[in-house]
Structure 1
Amino acid sequence: MEEYKYKVLMKNDFEAIDEKALIYLYQPIIGLKSLSVYKFMIQESFIMKQYKNINFDFSRILKILSIKYEALEKCLKFLEAMGLVQRLSNKIKKNVIVFNIFRPLDPIEFFENTIFNSALRKKIGFEDYEIARLIFSDETNAFSIDEGFTDNTTRFYDVFSYLLDSKPSLDSSINFSIKLRKSSPLLNGFDENIILKTLKEKNIDIDVKNHEQINILKNVYSYIQIDNVELANLLVDAYDNKNKCFDKEKIQILTSKFIVKTSNKPSNFVNNTSPIDIKLNQMNSLTPELYISCLMKKEFDDNQYNELIGKLRNNYVLPDPVINCILDFSYIRDNKNIIIGNVLVIAEKITRKNILTSFDTMKFLKEGKF
């Protein structure tokens, strides 16, 4: 466990609706334990606001919440991925971590965020999702770094990619005109002017008033959070000049390939640089269709593999990260081939063991218990 001190700062004031949003929209995704850590951090921010120069030892959190270090780190990553917490480290004061605390998105913003909206729907199911929509119907209708610190905040796909649809759409499911809170860490560093200028240099002219296309840029940025110029260059090939809009299917392919590429580089995230974490990020970030494309180094268009993935999802009810681990293992073991029979044998064993995470799958395959 790393020994360091921490400081907590509240970046914006809470409103009455926030507690309700945390319970019905955020808690199903992050879990009760992560929500407890979040509320503890809020109280810590009040203390530090009163005593401005005070820093606490990290062990304080572990003792008060009766939580282990590894479990706390997991909770913090969940909170970071949902834009509730931002973690900053200082190159000079290496033993001091700053946690910036942000209020949750307004319900309209949450439902308009394609990634969060999709994750909630997949987590709680259609019926309870519709109830959540109903609960906030009145509220939604009513809504018309620190210097010297480095942002070490976890991105959404690093921990919640398994909640995304196998082919997630970047369309909004609600016809609201989104107004994302500028202070949200999800859009920290986002500069639409730089992105639009870079795109214009590539002969792609997008009107700043075209909210649909701007929202797509925001959605992609909040998903992978890269440099504005790099984001623009990434999306050049996804623009449909004929229809004057982004092709969302191409965006899904391009962003997934970007994740694979960057997952092979050292991570900036705290305690996330080990080979196993890099591999897990890769397993958790791609659909099996795209992962096979990467393995075979060609576009995925094989019907037999399509049927295989469908069977693994529907008959064996395996999450995509688990499927990716099975495909990866089979590909290596069978001399760069995906042999369907062998894959199904492994899938049967994993289903019987009730293994549902990429980490547990990799551990099981490494032990060779099949």
Structure 2
Amino acid sequence: MGYPWKNLSPKDGFLVKQQALLSDIDQKILTFLYQPLVGNAAYSLYMTLWTEIEEENYWSEGILHSELLALLNIGIPELYQARIKLEAIGLIKTYLQTSPTKLIVYELQAPQTSDVFFKDDLLSLLLLEKVGERKFKKLRNRFVVETIDKNKFQEITKSFLDVFQFDAELLKREKELLKQPVSYIGNTSSTRPRVDPKTFDLKFFYTGLNQQYINRSSITKEIEETILVLHTLYGLDELAMQQFVLNASDIETGKIDEKRLKRLAYDDYHNKNQQNISLKDVVEKDIEVESNQQKMRETELTKRGLTKEDIAVIEVSEQISPVDFMNSIKDQKGGFVTKPEEWTLEEIVKKANLPTAVINILIHYILVVRNNPTLDQKLAYKIANDWAQEKVLAPEEAIQKVKKMYSENAEKRQQQESRSKSYTQNRGKTNYGNQTTTRKETLPDWAKEGNNQLEEKPMSEEEQKAFMERLKRIQNFGKEGE
């Protein structure tokens, strides 16, 4: 199954653009009215992106998604889920650049004003369903301003021309300057979420109403939007909606009471259902499915005798590219990737026809298990050739190969050490009569270096723990399945 967030990588850069200056009242609207709709993660994402823009600036500096993930303490799927919620509710617009480099721009949109929010059918009904009627009224009252009784007061406000005079000729001369095309902060209106359900047949709906006393002109564009919202939220079909519209209409005038229409639909749903409607975004189910698949995979690998550390390495090997994998290990060890290593890796990727995860296990074996400072070309080619010929197609198979190599090499070392010790003891003893002389062999430096074989051993427990922590962070950042 392909998941949409797999196109997003922690190493992808992004910029944040502020479309409108956000005020304190905007923050209150976001907190009290939008947060219940989008959830904590999406709210935190919006506020975090907002803080990336410094005061009096409208663009952020370039940032990596890995930094954003670390701040929010979530993975790629959860970040994608939070982002599309903000997009759907009208708080973010996302733009993608693929050439010459991949770059994403998040354009923050201002929230609706409180009066527009509560007049918007979709937003207000969603909030009502989410928090309940009592809390809904309480939230609405937070944004209600007591109006002036203009019947008791006389307005004495001065007009512009009562206070200012200007030179009309000067204004005419500067007309061209004023026409220069520029983009101003906050020059676009806030984005409202829309519904356009294909499951509601408006033509059939209107045909049924034509036989009634309803005045067709009474169904304005706004009321039509309300009908579509009620259909979307409460699953009302065309026939049911016709009846609700009739019940909300004035028999004499044929006009429709929009508030009564919404109340009738709301009461009907809750009389039949003991709970509020539950909205799930399209990604939530995919994340749950992927999580269950991962748990099943871990169980399967455990049954095959793999340790938690093995499984963690396998999971990471399946999620990031060989280049990123090698860079991560080198960073951990305080080193860097050399050009010959890059060429070696490129050659293996091109010619060995091994899966990405299997190549990552090869890298892990040479740099971590063997603790080599570099990706030894000769050894890497030898292992890649062997695995290609043996048709090693899964990282767990590669891990088993690694364990077998480690075991065989350990056994060979033990035999060599045993033979060497026996040889040294026999050569070092010479009998002259009854006297035994022990002679110590002295080897030159080059010979010592030549005979010193690199010991294959895993990292110490402390080093392994630190390495696994880093892998976990990569795994958390890199759920994009590279």
Work out whether the TM-score is over 0.5: no
The TM-score, its normalising length taken from structure 2, stands at: 0.35
The TM-score, its normalising length taken from structure 1, stands at: 0.45
Q: Which has the larger radius of gyration?
A: 2
If asked which structure has higher relative contact order (CA below 8 Å, sep 6+), I would say 2
